[in-house]
Amino acid sequence: MINNALQFLLHTILGLFTLALLLRFYLQLTRAPFQNPVSQAIVAITNFAVKPMRRFIPGIAGVDTSTLLLAFITQFLLQTGSKLISNYPLLVADNTIWIALLGLAFVGLLKLSIYIFLYAVFLQAILSWVNPYTILTPVLDALTRPVLKPLRNRIPTAGGFDLTPLVVFILAELILIVVITPTEMQLLRLF
């Protein structure tokens, strides 16, 4: 029972921190408005870890590699801590297990990235019907533009309705089902 509580705390704290780091990375990558309160909140939440890391790991070609590396490290700590809490003998494990943990951390980042874009597209679609002028709109527009814009150029509207969010959902689910989940299952079989 205590293991379940520890697993819950570990997944909640490190999972949310990974989410915040990935959001910061994607907001910077997509050039979302920095003065937006949402962007400011994400920066404030993650600054304590990102600022010191930037001293050692510089950005490369405008990509915030320190934030992305922190997200990967956090995901690796989540996977490792989860195995330790479930009494897996990591300290005596061979190198294959450590490579599997690194793979699970990478797959976790990919999965979380897909979910970030899925939820951003979903929220943007809902807000476009309800209130398209919220403080979230510029951030969501910046996040979804790299995914939706190429599709909008190729997919015509149907009776005035934009079908690209639906196409994004279908493609993202296919990627999750065909690529991400089988890879994760293969890595989990190593334990």
Average pLDDT over residues 159-164: 81
Please state, in angstroms and as integers, the Cα–Cα distance from residue 60 to each residue in 28, 43, 75, 107, following that order: 13, 19, 22, 22
Q: What is the pLDDT of residue 72?
A: 98
The model's pLDDT over 96-112, given as tens digits with 9 standing for 90+, comes to: 999 999 999 999 999 99
Q: What is the pLDDT of residue 65?
A: 94
89, with CB counted inside 10 A (0-12, 13-18, 19+), is exposed
Where in the sequence is the domain holding 42, given as residue range(s)? 2-188
**What is the tally of structural domains in the chain?**
1
pLDDT at 160 over 80: no
The model's pLDDT over 13-63, given as tens digits with 9 standing for 90+, comes to: 999 999 999 999 999 999 999 899 999 999 999 999 999 999 999 888 888
pLDDT-derived band at 132, boundaries 50, 70, 90: confident
pLDDT at 155 over 90: no
Average pLDDT over residues 152-163: 82
Cα 127 vs. chain centroid, distance in angstroms?
21
- Bridge partner residues of 63 (DSSP): 60
Instruction: At 101, list the tokens.
Output: 């943990």
Length of the chain equals 191
Residue 4: what residue type? N
Please state, in angstroms and as integers, the Cα–Cα distance from residue 11 to each residue in 19, 47, 81, 83, following that order: 11, 21, 9, 12
Q: Are 29 and 50 in contact (CB under 8 A)?
A: no
Average pLDDT over residues 160-178: 90
Q: What is the pLDDT of residue 14?
A: 96
Q: What is the pLDDT of residue 61?
A: 87
